[in-house]
Chains A and B, each alone.
Chain A
């Protein structure tokens, strides 16, 4: 391999990539906006039902309710309760009648007013109504005992993953793919303008050429993904694993970039294939953002192993032993895609 030629080609590609100052600025701004979206999203998950309660007489069942996820806040009067509901301080406001205990004791049904803001979804209203009924059952001694269920997976109650952290793998895949799109356009244009053929009549070999293009793709994809993950705290746990995963992800998307360049003739056709690749490779990220929506078949998509690893490591602190299998498969997919991409590009060049 001719390292000098590879180095020269890498510098030329970077020069071409960022020759346009505006394009360079936009690339930087692209990262900035991904970061802005991340930091604008809520950093915590509100998993508690905050309910206002006006109770001239407090039934013990309401007093003893200390379940995680449910919080009663006392209101001074029914009017104050209603105002707080309208202001959105509470999901609902419960106004218990002064004679509630007497009515329970005499077997009569007390009438309870429950106030909701009109923006509260119907299902939440129904949920709160059912909750009050259940408390009333407990108050009248008709409580049912539920056995302890089995918790599957780590119990995250009280320490839920914020949506923005669930989106980190999605952002990483987006950043990597968009940068590789630029590389694919660069290569396809060189193929079309026959500058690559011109390069090959110099002492540079096809191997040198692919090494240089691969290095450019890797640096662009890996570098920006690392920068993003570093800033959003995605590397606060197991940074080495995250780096290794992003590195393999960089190789994977470089392979995709080679394939796109081989398939497309110009920017527009590369764009067409890129959209298809983007849609397919982004699917596993949705399984992380919206758990349960993507089933087992997503494991055939190479980016699944990138997304799953980033999610498990950055959000659950998984170690080498937990994700070693993922990294092996990711490596396999990355090598296979680069190899297929090189073969396709070589065929195109010939």
Chain B
């Protein structure tokens, strides 16, 4: 293997790849997905009941609802708007506060409040909203709760918000989209256009070609992996270990990409494999999305040993001691894959020559 030739080939790959859809998608996709998750999913997956209010006067209750942590409050300008919001499920309960609502509450008068309930709203959401409304109305009237409540938290598990639960999926997608598809696609393209045979008759060996393509995948996915962790404010703790794990993950992705490139005949089949194999790659992400799934299931997937250290460090404040075993397993997997790729490469070389 000649480092000079690998460098030249790598330069060519960097020059040609930005014209490739996968390259662009590997750069843009994770960033878009990450932004969508942080912007939209922050409230989309929340269990908080949603309350819609249309205030015909200027009640203090609206501000009190907005300050309440147990519900999400949205304000609407007209009765038709609030009805529509309830009908579509944008809010669980919609409430129309009449003129001088606060005055009537303070005077202890009976008030007629129009309220709408979304038919598909969960019973527990309805209860929480109902008691929150009553509670805040009492607060507005100046009543004091006749009970002293002491909330005590037990156990060590922490509730993980959905935006955090989705981070492992985003990181896996980032690393494997660029790291696997780009080298795989690149090798297959060369095979389809018969340029691989052309390259083999030059001083460059097929090993040089594969290493150059693999390095492109590793560089892109490592760069994007760091970018995504930074974007999600998850790169602060132990950046050295995170960088190491990201690099090992990127190597695994590139190895799998090269393996597919060596074994698969055409792009259609590559995408068919991606369609099915995606489940195997992204399986561990489900583990973090739904913590009820037993952890041992995740260990069946090779990508678990990449994503577990990332999550442990970035979200669980873990250190080297907590992730060392899995990092060593990841290194072992990378080494095994190198051997498998080398074997497949020899086979490809025999076909190419």
- Contact surface of A with B, Cβ cutoff 8 Å: 20, 22-23, 26-27, 29-30, 33, 45, 47-49, 67-70, 82, 85-86, 104, 109-127, 129-134, 136-137, 139-140, 142, 144, 146-147, 149-158, 160-161, 178, 182, 185, 267-269, 271-272, 275, 290-293, 295
Contacts and interface: CB of A to CB of B under 8 A. Distances in A.
Interface string B134-154: 110110000101111111111
Contacts of B150: 111-114
Contact of A153 (B22, B119, B131, B138): B119
A26 B273 CA distance: 7
Contacts of A30: 275-276
A126 to B, nearest CB: 4
B233 interface: no
Contact of A161 (B47, B88, B120, B266): B120
Nearest to A140: B146
B117 A48 contact: no
Contacts of B83: 152
B281 to A, nearest CB: 12
Interface stretch (B56-64, B121-129, B165-173, B326-334): B121-129
B238 to A, nearest CB: 24
Interface of B: 20-22, 25, 40, 44, 46-50, 68-71, 83, 85-91, 93, 112-128, 130-135, 137-138, 143, 145-159, 185, 265-269, 271-273, 275-276, 279
Contacts of A111: 147-148, 150
What are the 4 A-B residue pairs with the smallest beta carbon separation, nearest first? A69-B123, A291-B89, A292-B90, A153-B119
Contacts of A23: 268-269, 272
Nearest to B129: A127
B159 A149 contact: no
Given A117-B157, A119-B158, 17 more contacts: A20-B265, A20-B268, A30-B276, A47-B122, A69-B124, A114-B149, A116-B153, A118-B154, A118-B158, A123-B70, A133-B147, A140-B146, A149-B115, A149-B117, A151-B119, A157-B123, A291-B118
A122 B159 CA distance: 8
B128 A136 contact: no
Contacts of A26: 272-273, 275-276
B135 A133 contact: yes
A130 B128 contact: yes
A125 B118 CA distance: 23
> Max chain B CB contacts within 10 Å: which of A30, A120, A133?
A133
A226 B24 CA distance: 35
Contacts of A134: 131, 134-135
Given A140-B146, A147-B112, A121 B21 contact: no
A155 to B, nearest CB: 5
Contact of B154 (A82, A110, A152): A82
B205 to A, nearest CB: 27
Contacts of A129: 149, 151
Contacts of A85: 154-155
A67 B69 CA distance: 23
B115 to A, nearest CB: 4
Contacts of B48: 121, 123
A122 to B, nearest CB: 6
A311 to B, nearest CB: 11
Nearest to A116: B153
A86 B119 contact: no
B157 A292 contact: no
18 contacts: A48-B123, A49-B128, A67-B127, A69-B124, A85-B154, A117-B155, A118-B159, A119-B158, A123-B71, A126-B68, A133-B131, A136-B147, A142-B143, A153-B118, A158-B123, A271-B22, A292-B91, A293-B40
A118 B156 contact: yes
Contact of B25 (A146, A157, A275): A275
Nearest to B92: A292
A167 B45 CA distance: 15
A26 B120 CA distance: 38
Contacts of A290: 44
Contacts of B46: 123
A123 to B, nearest CB: 5
A133 B125 CA distance: 17
B141 to A, nearest CB: 9
> Max chain A CB contacts within 10 Å: which of B112, B130, B156?
B130
